[in-house]
Chains A and B, each alone.
Chain A
């Protein structure tokens, strides 16, 4: 369980800074550091176990049906990355405290940073392919937030968008690849997948899966041709660059290569794709790093180049090369984070990052200069520094590779060229900025930064030197553990040492060092050569592509979506006609095996009335009042049909809804035009009639086809269990409040939301109120007829009694909360209509919003109540009670739930109608509650 905490703590930790404030920066930074520190402690506590070859795992079931579980593992590879992420992450937190300017929102920065840290930890510890992908996408999202932290700058927004687009698209490819692998293996469990190398590589789907996974890894790790997003992500604050582009985000891609190495590596396709991509990236990045003038730009391209080295190492088909790759991941993370932070300090102190303006800073900041020199030496691969060791391993392994067959000498040769370039740009970076004569015309006079800001840089530099001097002592155990995970077995024996005697690799290193020095001195020729090319801005190309996509999409939308409901309906109906029509032609005849039941006169009369009223509603639609009256006839006939065919609950509900619905539509019609003008031409009418006839034909055929075929219902369960299980005889009501109570809870919530929506829509609504009807006749002067008023008042208590009765008996006889609620609402509405809103509000100043909300609350609480008895949500209980005088009655907790339904229906219905009714008076709902 504590394994899960390594990921969960930083996740919770992302909330911590949000509680802090921008003014108390020290407190904010300290509190933020707590969670990762504890997580690091937990990871260190597991360290001994992991180094002994054990793999601690922890899992919580999440979506078992999809094979997705919250499973974490901590093997050597994960441990290596967890230490990097948390260790460098903590240093970044410290550095950020001094880096951010007063105007920057510190809590927001830390929250994003912790979110990002969580997602990185999730990637490296995931023990399930799908889970790994979820965290992978989370890094894309959280890095988008971090890169776009200064969201007021166009550069930052564009850089963030580009990074998200490229890595997000790669993430989708990765998902497809992982799904393919999961299908081949039949499991998403990491261990099962890693053990299925033979199975995966012999499957014909191996190649597409490999391509897709590599696409994900290469976009994330900025390999050519996807490298262009990384330099533009430099618009981020420097701590972000130091974290994302040294130790974490871009390392996720190479981590994936290492993680999937046991399952995917070893084939020809892997070697060529990974090896050659790495080689090209290595050269491309190194060359452009030499040409850039922006400090962070140099570092960005150098990162691209070093990621190329690591990728190349994973593609060399040698076990030792994989170890070298892992080693270089650590080394690069250390010196690159240090250099990024140094670049941030220089920028902070001098106000510029342009290498052409910076000069001779060593006079002002000797300590920073020392750090930069040491870290730069590590980056260049100077002996006695950690970068030298892994680079030499890389050169040694490149000599052994079988890649390219007879041309295999190309690989070590080009690798040496790459190293040579990296020596040259490291020299340029360090010498031009910190030495090269006295400084002139700096925007600001630099000083040493605060000690605590420099501390992270110092720590990382010390690590570079110590690892460089004592490699075997510091790194062997960790690397062996990591390598045994990446190689699915025992790690090759490691002999990390500074001196291996004079061998080809050493000679290549020396060539690179001397050649790099020479190239640096003659660099003006390179610059002159490069000037012959027209510079291509990747961002412009990218933006053009995006804009083109947007334009095409916009045009497509404009041509389809013109705001006409009629057109949308048209397409929808045509789709229905095509799909349902073609499906119906596949069935074996319209008439099923069942015979028609006999007809009787009442049925025929009812059906004819319903059909004529339906047709009349449509035909007379331009005279709205008549159309509405016809509609109410259909409603009544529907209710009768329910009563005829053994559905008393439905009949009652339909009848009550019909009353409320008619009041609503009449009220609405009062504010709307009374007549619809003739607008559609004959062709349009013909088209709509044909469509409607086709639709009606399909509905009727489908209905008839179903009705004449035998029915296999799942309802026997409900019929059998209603009394013993639900304690009610009315099965419909028991289904509503017990078996499917959760659905009902959802439905009354929707009802309540609709009512609240209406309440808000009516807020400050100014409506035109006609003073006469459509034919110019004035409204009656007697607004509230006395007879109606008296009747309504008399009926009210009676109706309330009836609704109470119907509510109580609902569980055992037709009735229940829905119907009782509607009856109560109808009775109250009658009073509103008869006596007017003023009169009613004075006598019964009831707010309906709280009633509706309380209804949903009661229903929910009833459900929650079953937790108290250790039962699942909404389990009902019932029992028989003997009450003197009344006798034996049966009570179920479901009646409480039904009470919630009742309250919601009453509250919502009156919230809708009473508020609409108020529009006819001076009591219009407004921000200040009605003051009647």
Chain B
């Protein structure tokens, strides 16, 4: 199970990074979101993978590690804020610069939807 979990995080991280290396804003934002899923899963698993042992104090006495969960919970919310900020920054950049490139070339917007 651990191997399968690790493979999943690895593939998600790889897909996210590939997108983050693209030359337009939107794929980069999608890539960063994907990467943040992978990172959250990775961080979360640092407390070990355990089923049916939620960290809610009851009589069972069997609990999973609550600390990574608390960290990941805020990471999810902050990750959302970051995604929102970067996507809107991208929109603003496109409106002001007329381009959604992130490769340093200030080429004009491709014609497709201007015409």
Contact = CB atoms under 8 A, between A and B. Distances in A.
A675 interface: yes
B6 A634 contact: no
Given A731-B63, A770-B113, A661 B80 contact: yes
A594 to B, nearest CB: 8
A839 interface: no
A463 interface: no
Chain B at the A interface: SS class = helix
Interface string A571-603: 001000000000000000000001011110001
Interface stretch (A176-184, A468-476, A711-719): A711-719
Contact of B17 (A573, A653, A704): A573
B111 to A, nearest CB: 10
A627 B33 CA distance: 12
Interface string A528-563: 000000000000000000000000000000000011
Given A646-B50, A696-B13, A627 B27 contact: yes
Contacts of B14: 618, 692-693, 695-697, 699
Contacts of B65: 711, 713, 715
A4 to B, nearest CB: 40
B74 A747 contact: yes
Contact of B85 (A661, A754, A813): A754
A617 interface: yes
Interface residues of A, number: 116
Contacts of A699: 9-10, 13-14, 38, 42
A704 B6 CA distance: 5
Contacts of B31: 618
A703 B67 contact: no
Nearest to A632: B33
B19 A617 contact: yes
Nearest to B27: A621
Interface string B1-34: 1111111111111111111111111111111011
A438 B48 CA distance: 96
Contacts of B38: 699
Contacts of B6: 700-701, 703-704, 707
Contact of B50 (A645, A708, A722): A645
Interface stretch (A114-122, A199-207, A663-671): A663-671
Nearest to A911: B84
B56 A729 contact: yes
A794 B87 CA distance: 32
Nearest to B58: A729
A743 B75 CA distance: 11
A672 B90 CA distance: 9
Given A573-B17, A614-B34, A761 B92 contact: yes
B3 A638 contact: no
Contact of A905 (B33, B77, B85): B77
Interface in A674-728: 674-677, 679-680, 688-689, 691-693, 695-697, 699-704, 706-708, 711, 713-715, 718-719, 722-723
Interface string B74-105: 10111111111101111110110000101111
A638 B8 CA distance: 10
Nearest to B62: A646
Nearest to B92: A761
A615 B63 CA distance: 34
Given A562-B104, A570-B21, A646-B53, A617 B76 contact: no
A714 B47 CA distance: 10
Given A564-B102, A646-B55, A755-B84, 16 more contacts: A566-B23, A617-B34, A621-B27, A646-B64, A648-B56, A661-B80, A665-B30, A668-B90, A696-B12, A699-B13, A699-B42, A702-B42, A707-B45, A765-B95, A768-B113, A912-B81
Interface of B: 1-31, 33-34, 37-38, 40-42, 44-58, 63-67, 69-70, 72-74, 76-85, 87-92, 94-95, 100, 102-105, 109-110, 112-114
9 closest A-B pairs by CB: A700-B10, A696-B14, A564-B104, A563-B104, A704-B6, A618-B15, A565-B102, A692-B18, A731-B66
8 contacts: A610-B12, A646-B54, A672-B100, A692-B18, A696-B11, A751-B77, A812-B56, A814-B54
